[in-house]
Structure 1
Amino acid sequence: MGYVPPIPKQPKPKLPVVLTTLLGASFLGAVWAVLFATNLVTLGGIPYSVLMTFWQDPIARNAYLGSNDEVLHNRISELGIEAAIKAYHRPKMGDSNRLDQLTHQILYNHTGYIGEAYQVSDSGRLVPRDSN
Structure 2
Amino acid sequence: MNLLTLSRAASPAALIAVRRAIGTGVAVAAVIATSIGAAQEAQTFTGVISDDQCAKDGHAAMRMGPTDAECTKICIVAHGAAYVLIDGNEVYALSDQKAPEAFAAQKVIVTGTLDPKTKTIRVTSIKAA
Q: What interval of TM-score do these two structures reach, taking the shorter chain for normalisation? A: under 0.3
Higher relative contact order (CA closer than 8 Å, sequence separation 6+):
2
What is the TM-score normalised by the length of structure 1?
0.26
What is the TM-score normalised by the length of structure 2?
0.27
Q: Answer 1 or 2: which has greater helix percent.
A: 1
